[in-house]
């Protein structure tokens, strides 16, 4: 099969021919229909993700058609169209039994701990407990974005911070996950204020329904948000993993506000100095979040199928496998609005 292989940090991926993957007994082999290019892939590409050992095939936001079914897999048949969460939980341990699959201690993460979906085919273990049916009406490029950014934003807002209708939600960073959070918060009936430093991305967010935008390159975003919201946001989403935005997210909250750390702090941002006086005096809550348990897919798919949220503004570019390197390198700079999805795996 054709695949893009990460062999050296910060170098173009090797577009190469590899043997087709073996089908795991408890899994399936998918023909990949689409795979998103995500900031988390960029973390691998720069060498700042300790889970990734080279060489590795990146790609964790995928959907596909079942081509092969393992002997111990019962839910799936050849030809089924499926989507996968990026965390493949075991389905057996106490964490999984309590519904918290994102904390499964033996989780498998394609693209990081196992070969990913920057390839024509991917082996997906633990298929019965993790995969969901890709609705007929959903196009693969959009479904690919669900596997990571949209699910992560959905679980951060609803499963962690408990965002409610009428509340103000401030979103720091309008990459894939930030834009998803804005669209979903809006669908939940919350009001949204979006912060970025790229005017084009702010205009894009505004055009797709953000109630207010703040350019952090021009003004103190926390003060601006307190002003816009009449005292501070109820929920702040940090979608970059950067110390400065985490600090501003906390400072933008009203009393009893909740901050969700969705961005992955990597490199020099793994350690941050935070305004704990604001946490104390504001009686704030800080939630870490990562991924979404697969049992929560139906709630999200139902919201989308019901026409309550249009996620198409997320997809900016449909690209070929050979473009993946350029898309990864683009995360070095403030990127244009929307995300890139690989939809062409051929020659
Ligand atoms: Zn991702
Ligand atoms: Zn488990």
For residue 264, which ligand has an atom nearest its CA? 1
Digitized pLDDT (tens) for each residue of the chain, 347 residues in all: 999 999 999 999 999 999 999 999 999 999 999 999 998 999 999 998 888 899 999 999 999 999 999 999 999 999 999 999 999 999 999 999 999 999 999 999 999 999 999 999 999 999 999 999 998 889 999 999 888 999 999 999 999 999 999 999 999 999 899 999 999 999 999 999 999 999 999 999 999 999 999 999 999 999 999 999 999 999 999 999 999 999 999 999 999 999 999 999 988 999 999 999 999 999 999 999 999 999 999 889 889 988 999 999 899 899 999 999 999 999 998 777 888 999 999 86
Q: What is the pLDDT of residue 92?
A: 96
Ligand 1 centroid, distance to 38 Cα (angstroms): 4
Ligand 2 centroid, distance to 88 Cα (angstroms): 9
CB 225 within 8 A of CB 193: yes
Which fold is adopted by the domain 155-288? Rossmann fold (3.40.50)
DSSP annotation of 323 reads G
| Phi/psi at 3 (5° precision) | -150, 155
Q: Which of 36, 304, 63, 38 is nearest to 184 (CA)?
A: 304
> Within the chain, how many helices (H) and strands (E) appear?
12, 15
pLDDT digits over 148-193, tens only? 999 999 999 999 999 999 999 999 999 899 999 999 999 999 999 9
Q: What is the pLDDT of residue 342?
A: 97
Tell me where in the chain the CATH 3.40.50.720 domain(s) lie.
Answer: 155-288
H helical segments located in 89-216: 94-97, 127-130, 140-145, 151-154, 176-187, 199-207
Ligand 2 centroid, distance to 63 Cα (angstroms): 22
For residue 177, which ligand has an atom nearest its CA? 1
CB 314 within 8 A of CB 338: yes
For residue 126, which ligand has an atom nearest its CA? 2
Ligand 2 centroid, distance to 290 Cα (angstroms): 15
Task: Indicate the CATH number of 2-150+292-344 among 3.90.180.10, 3.40.120.10, 3.40.50.300, 3.30.1300.10.
Answer: 3.90.180.10
For residue 88, which ligand has an atom nearest its CA? 2
Ligand 2 centroid, distance to 155 Cα (angstroms): 18
For residue 263, which ligand has an atom nearest its CA? 1
Ligand 2 centroid, distance to 332 Cα (angstroms): 35
Ligand 2 centroid, distance to 129 Cα (angstroms): 10
Distances (CA, A) of 323 to 235, 286, 295, 342: 36, 37, 33, 8
Tell me where in the chain the CATH 3.90.180.10 domain(s) lie.
Answer: 2-150+292-344
Ligand 2 centroid, distance to 117 Cα (angstroms): 22
Ligand 1 centroid, distance to 226 Cα (angstroms): 30
| Phi/psi at 34 (5° precision) | -160, 150
Residue 55: asked if its preceding bond is cis (omega within 30°), the reply is: yes
CB 55 within 8 A of CB 45: no
Q: What is the pLDDT of residue 347?
A: 65
Q: What is the pLDDT of residue 48?
A: 87
Residue 332 neighbours by CB under 8 Å, 6+ apart = 42
Ligand 2 centroid, distance to 260 Cα (angstroms): 24
Ligand 1 centroid, distance to 59 Cα (angstroms): 8
Cα of 134 vs its chain's centroid, Å: 17
Ligand 2 centroid, distance to 333 Cα (angstroms): 37
């Amino acid at each position: 099969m054709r695949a893009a292989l990460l062999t050296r940090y910060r170098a173009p991926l090797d577009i190469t021919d590899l043997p087709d993957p073996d089908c795991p007994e408890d899994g399936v082999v998918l023909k990949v229909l689409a795979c998103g290019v995500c900031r988390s892939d960029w973390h691998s590409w720069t060498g700042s993700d300790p889970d990734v050992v080279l060489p590795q095939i990146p790609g964790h936001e995928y959907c596909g058609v079942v081509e092969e079914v393992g002997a111990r897999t019962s839910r799936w048949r050849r030809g089924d169209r499926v989507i996968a969460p990026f965390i493949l939980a075991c389905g057996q341990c106490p964490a999984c039994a309590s519904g918290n699959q994102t904390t499964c201690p033996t989780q498998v993460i394609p693209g990081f701990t196992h070969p990913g979906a920057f390839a024509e085919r991917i082996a997906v273990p633990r298929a019965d407990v993790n995969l969901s049916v890709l609705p007929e009406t959903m196009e693969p490029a959009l479904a690919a974005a669900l596997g990571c950014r949209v699910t992560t934003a959905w679980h951060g807002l609803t499963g962690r911070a408990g965002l409610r209708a009428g509340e103000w939600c401030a979103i720091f960073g309008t990459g894939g996950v930030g834009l998803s959070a804005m669209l979903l918060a809006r669908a939940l009936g919350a009001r949204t204020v979006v912060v970025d430093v790229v005017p084009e991305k702010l205009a894009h967010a505004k055009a797709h329904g953000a109630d207010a935008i703040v350019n952090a390159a021009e003004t103190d975003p926390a003060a601006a948000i307190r002003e816009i919201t009449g005292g501070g946001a109820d929920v702040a989403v940090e979608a970059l993993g950067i110390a400065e935005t985490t600090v501003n997210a906390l400072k933008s909250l009203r009393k009893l506000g909740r901050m969700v750390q969705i961005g992955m702090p990597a490199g020099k941002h793994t350690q941050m100095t935070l305004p704990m006086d604001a946490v104390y005096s504001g009686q704030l809550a800080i939630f870490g979040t990562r991924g979404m348990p697969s049992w929560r897919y139906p709630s999200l798919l139902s919201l989308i199928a019901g026409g309550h949220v249009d996620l198409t503004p997320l997809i900016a570019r449909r690209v070929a496998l050979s473009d993946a390197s350029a898309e990864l390198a683009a995360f070095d700079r403030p990127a244009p609005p929307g995300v890139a999805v690989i939809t062409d795996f051929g020659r």
